[in-house]
Structure 1
């Protein structure tokens, strides 16, 4: 039972799988060797040598008469051959793998050893070329077809079944000047639609046929191709009107009956074909009734006859408007003018006929003011049908802007003699005068008026080179500043002006300008931020081309008192300060500093003590801010004082700021006794050299010590008090009270500058003494020569200011 199951599974597996696959190209001759089945399957490897001669191979394909056998196998060797020439196109479908499955039985005598399933793939070769249904075709384009018009042509087919061999590419072969392209699009059935596309409009009158070739090439190796000849015929449309040999015919005839003889023959031609070129002639509606009564026109030949003579006094010059019309649908036509001059023996005045180049009504025409000198303005035709001298005419035009030039007998042209300017004169009148040489002379005048049309030839002009305006700060936005006055004498758009402001990225202008030239603010202006604006204003007209100009504008912002003053020193409110008073102490206490962001009178400040000075002990300089004792201080004045000090500007309205100064006053009596002792003993003589030594030692010790302490203090407050130090200036004040001289100077920051600063203060002090000659003060020398030198002291008043006080007592 197990053996039967295994055999069944083996047979099923053999039916579902392919044991061998062979490939062979189509079109090989019958009997072509395909493969050795016995060797490729290795069946003989397991068969003993003595039994191999008993192995037989045979095909299991049914022998059907209508289906020929394609392959055969050698019974003993197991080699596979073709029985006929294989054609892939007849065996298989397009774009699919072409193969045949054969079943081969391997027997040992009469028993089956194995059934083999063999697939033979027939490989397609490029044995077919692309083929068009016809070798040549004709298509038509109309000369009325627009660019992009397409005409369908047949595509080519390739019988090869493989994609590479049957894949067709198309190429258009044409001359370079042929206006056609090939449009290729793929259809849903994987075929291609070929269309000839028009690149530009055709003109049958230039060329009525074209020959191009469409080349189809397959993708085989080597590729094969075929060619389709396409002849393109251009069909006619009625796109050419008849054209006269001349636009104007001038003829002169005698006033007599010509009978069947034509006075002139008109000729017109048409480039179209067929009925589109058949021409008929007839008078247009503009031809006068008088002319049609006297002249006859043959509509087929274009012959004109004088069929009736003119009576005496009738007009002898006539315009015949002859229209030539073709037979197209719709028909096209053109018009020629026939000027007929009927010669008469009468002595008539010449007639003047003027045709202006520009538009004109009756005797009025227009020219542009940019017309060039020598430009052709009008054609003048003078008619005088009289015979002999009666018909000889001379003409003239006398004007400073225009002149009359001779073109031929009785033909003139009016040209520009000198430039015209509409802004100077917008209309010119002139007269053309003609007279014949008859006896008596006949004279004719024609008056004309020329209107000069404006062109944009004048750039906008400003009334000033610079426009200056002023405006107070803090005005609302859209506040008017002033007008920019500009003018342009041109007319129409050329005289309409548009103003604009610069739009640079790095510059913001808080202004805007209207088309009428009104400048107004965009935002409220701040004098303290920017007090003067200088910028250009650009103006251009609306002419073509546009002309422009630029003017300089200066807008000054005037200050308003909109910023209250503020205190720089003291920088905090309230500010505490200790004052140690002793006799011979200077009356000056400190200097208050304030500032105001406004300018001029709005920043002119005045100081005043408003509260805390009930004893009238203190006073302040209203202009400098110097706070000082109003009179001598006694022990009873010691104590604390809270002064409220205000600073006001001088603007309208007045703005102010207030600070509070807390003073703690200490009066030192001991110091007073020491100084009094000095004064009570005027007869006491101090040895000069000893005094000099004491002074020098005091200076030597005090200056470095004070400088070191000052440097530390200045460095600690360097960043916090930078604005105060920048705005402060070195000051030296002298107060001559009770024979005391006080001089203050800022302490130098570096050690080398300390002696120099002291030397400078001493020089100032010495030269400021009354009744002393002005000289340079050298401390080492002058102190020794001073009449009386009592003492030299130094003191630091506050942490914000380091001050030397050099006190001299001079009698």
Structure 2
């Protein structure tokens, strides 16, 4: 124990440290502003921290008698302190204080011992007392007098009594076992009513203070002439224990006195003493005839655990005489007070990322009962991420006991139960509501991992393509989402030049019109970012597919009209038979799918009965043999239309000159065409055999990919194969025309070729979800050298990756049914093409 002394106005008091507690001792009635002690120094606190850490005082007394000077750290008196008002007769008189300091939370218990000062004089409840004493009473008779009351305690309470000078009486003072003193008047010399019927005495009570205070009572002794025996009690003091839950009417004890006189002089009645307090009279009653003391009111141990009073036994003589005895009733405590839970400090809301062990609240418990009845234990409701840690003297701290997640539970109702150790135990419950403060710990989540958008080409500028949406389970700014497009390249150009996104609602708009022939598909990486600190984000992919529109008319590539004007001149011998191939019109359409299907029609002719045009190949043949009557100059207008909606068309004019003497060249030409025809038949056979062997493996591969695609579609919401746009590579001077593109996710290659006399096939591949059909057409090259060059171009330009080809031939050729909808790798295609070399 350490002791510090402070001196002010000749008054001294002491400072104690007991088991982590701090105790000051001060006299009562200190002036306001008096310094009790330097609290900051005694608690080892820096004065500069007092204001920042919000030091405050709480008192169980309810009234704030003290305050803290946050500038100096002194504990000063705030209000008048009256020890008698606070503690009555209890000693020591302790005023407990709780010093609460935040950031971090600390609790210090301080006890202020209020020392008594001699500020009260002894007083007698009865200022004038009349004693009736028969003249026949023998010397030595004792007459109890009223004890003086002094609210002060210890040395300042009543210490002695004196009586005024007289010839017949003297005063003796008896000590009770609890230290209280009571005076008795003793008769020293017999009374003689005839000489002096009245005796006036002054009883003075003195306390032990410095200076001494005193109080007086006037005693008038009336000398009686009869009834010379007073009632005598069996015991001077009667003691009893009473349970505080005793019901009114319960008998506590009986006092008994006897009188040696006879008749009315010996008949006794019992009464409370003259100085009995109102509290005693409200709690107890006495039966006049029997002397039984019974419970009258509600007895409460917590208010008054010891009750002392006097009982008088009076006879009915004339003059009447009385006897006195003392009664002590001790109240036995029962467990009749429920524990009280006090929340001294509560921090709410609490950040959801608070570490385990973070202090949420400071809690104390008290019970007005005594002994085991006043011992309190606290418990916490289960299934909450909190726990109670015991602190100093029935104080607890409520701390976190696990991770918190506002998104799962934003508010906790913590039920705290207090139970005492009485029999039966009593308990009480207090509910503390703890709210959680949101922390940005959840990134935005898109409604889909990826989005698929189909846009028609030539769409209007500013058209909304789609809207993406994301949600964030946080609150406020932590859940406020803004959308943006991550920079990427599409055909070497930033994607932001193609589309724009509304940062508030996620709507994506087109920045310009799209052209399917230049761009078929591209990707957009959209980012959703919240406004938290630090901000969190997530990404989603938007796949934009351009849908083809029929915006390109067929373009005639043979016969070429660039050099010869609008007419194409062809010569034919008059000896030509029916079915003779006059020429072949070849056209292409930059569109795809149905929009690129081309049909040929003879719109006008000099003689419509002489020529016919194949609807699909564009071959112009004779319908019959040429006669001598036919004009030597025949004009044919051929219309070329696609299969789109609306239909796009083009026309070409062919002039055919019928001449004599062209038999040999025509014959040679036919002979030359026989061999390619045979070779073409062999090629067709090889092609059919090769494709038949590959088709089985391709079909198995297709089924496996289909199953995987279906499984993936369940999670991603879309499954598609994408190929980038096809950039044209054309060589009009060769029979082979190559269109290819290796940029982006779509790979495209097209091999075209042919001349007017060859039986042509074409192989074309472009895989896209927007096209209804893809073509693979092979054209026999005019020379082996040109075809090898084409193969080398493909081999150098395309990566080693698996290609998917779909075949469709509008003609009912023998091998078209086998090629149609057939998938095989690029390497397989090249192996097949190698057979033709």
TM range (shorter): 0.3 to 0.5
TM-score (norm 2): 0.44
TM-score (norm 1): 0.45
